[in-house]
Chains A and B, each alone.
Chain A
Amino acid sequence: MTKKHTVRVDVNGTTYEREVEPRLTLADFLRHELHLGGTHVGCEHGICGACTILIDGRSARSCLTLAVQADGAQITTVEGLRNRETGHLHPIQQAFVDAHGQQCGFCTPGFLMTTLELLEHNPSPSEEEIRSSASKAHRW
């Protein structure tokens, strides 16, 4: 049995600590250890983008990061978008609703997190910038 490692992370403002096997991906850590099922897992090798989250404010594929590599990180997942006090959707979520931007909805968490980073760095991106940031296999 491989030695387990302690992983301590801040996810959406809450600190969690778990003992995990090194081979556990951050996506599976979020879903199975922390029971945050909003981060979806599609291809599990970095292509589809459904599992995109923010690690220290930067978008990343949570399937291409080990949980042990995220020790000490600040993580934002789709669960962190809704306003906890008012219960209102994040403006990006509301815009997806208003524009029917979900399609089947499976990869929507990845799109929301990607859009969040894009708009934080570039509040009025061009169509080309939006297309190149989106980078999902099965859309656009």
Chain B
Amino acid sequence: MKPASFDYYSPASADEAVALLQKFEDDGVDAKIVAGGQSLMPMLAMRVARPEALIDLRRAVGLDHIGENNGVIAVGAMASKSAAEESPLIRAKQPLFHAATRLVGHRQIRNRGSVGGSFAHADPASEYPAVALVLGMEMKVLGPSGPRLIPADEFFVTYMTTSMESTEILTEVRMPALPAGTGWAIQEFARRNGDLALAGVALTLPVAGGKCGDVRIAAFGVNATAVRLTIAEEALRGQPADQTSFARAAAAGAQALEEPMTCLHASAEYRRHLVQTLTARCLAEAAGRSGH
């Protein structure tokens, strides 16, 4: 349980980090970025990951901001999850992201773990990718030719894989503030507090005149990436925001899932069942928060 040898770099800026990535790419050196390290360190310890060079972003300035500009909340990739959890801005304006943050690991992990790390790591059981799909978040990445924005639905490709190039780093994630009249919920099922979820659901539910608006639902821990439950979303649009609609939509959404993952702790069938139950519970919880 000790990492294999690697060289260590701690550049002073994101630009320097990108230049290092480019140099290692040219030289054929296997380099890896470390942010908070709370997912990478276990992989190094178990030698699932054996990079030749580790590039630590901890000294790179200007990557840990949390702020708002024109209704868009921007979180620097190196802001810690505890900083996001304790941010009055995020708590007030984007409660779904706030609630998701509190579900990540334990306090000790959130103190060290970065917000950006969970996006770049792209674990299918992670809460943030599902929230990113629900909120239509954007990822700001920096590469040798400059910055670009990647929408969430183009960012997560498959297990532990994003659409970032090998010479790009994630510098910021952006999300809209939650509109008034929109309910939200995130629930997951894990064996123990702080474990990765066997399955989870995040959603936003706008309600007007007692009817569901443009509902967005995503499940995590089920397929290779977080997935939108579009069948459930369509089943709800224009329907009364009541238990009957919620139960029908949850069943349809779970049924339409691609074959879920199977592991020692949960069969595909069990995960599908969890998605149905959690979707129905989240819809009821969100309806209570929609202000109608």
Contact = CB atoms under 8 A, between A and B. Distances in A.
Interface of A: 2-3, 5, 21-23, 25, 28, 43-46, 49, 52, 55, 58-61, 63-66, 68-69, 114, 117, 131-133, 135, 137
B106 A21 contact: no
Contacts of B10: 68
B107 A45 contact: no
A130 to B, nearest CB: 12
30 contacts: A2-B5, A2-B6, A2-B8, A5-B8, A22-B8, A22-B54, A23-B3, A23-B4, A23-B6, A23-B44, A43-B1, A45-B41, A45-B42, A45-B46, A58-B82, A58-B112, A59-B111, A60-B111, A64-B37, A64-B109, A66-B41, A69-B34, A69-B56, A69-B58, A114-B108, A132-B107, A133-B106, A135-B107, A135-B193, A135-B194
Interface in B3-50: 3-8, 10, 34, 37-38, 41-42, 44-46
Given A61-B108, A64-B37, A46 B42 contact: yes
Contacts of A63: 41, 45
A115 to B, nearest CB: 12
Interface residues of B, number: 30
Given A2-B5, A3-B8, A44-B45, 15 more contacts: A5-B8, A22-B54, A23-B4, A23-B6, A44-B1, A44-B2, A45-B42, A49-B106, A55-B111, A60-B111, A65-B112, A114-B108, A117-B107, A135-B193, A135-B194
A2 B7 contact: yes
A22 B40 CA distance: 14
A114 B42 CA distance: 20
Given A2-B5, A135-B194, A60 B45 contact: no
Contacts of B111: 55, 58-60
A58 B109 CA distance: 10
B265 interface: no
Nearest to B8: A22
A60 B38 CA distance: 10
A52 B108 contact: yes
A61 B37 CA distance: 11
A133 B3 CA distance: 28
Contacts of B6: 2, 22-23
A114 B193 CA distance: 16
B105 to A, nearest CB: 8
Given A66-B8, A131-B193, A132-B193, A61 B112 contact: yes
A23 B37 CA distance: 13
Contacts of A28: 2
A46 B1 contact: no
A135 B194 CA distance: 7
B103 to A, nearest CB: 11
A23 B3 CA distance: 6
A117 B112 CA distance: 14
B41 A46 contact: yes
Nearest to A20: B8
Contacts of B107: 59, 114, 117, 132-133, 135
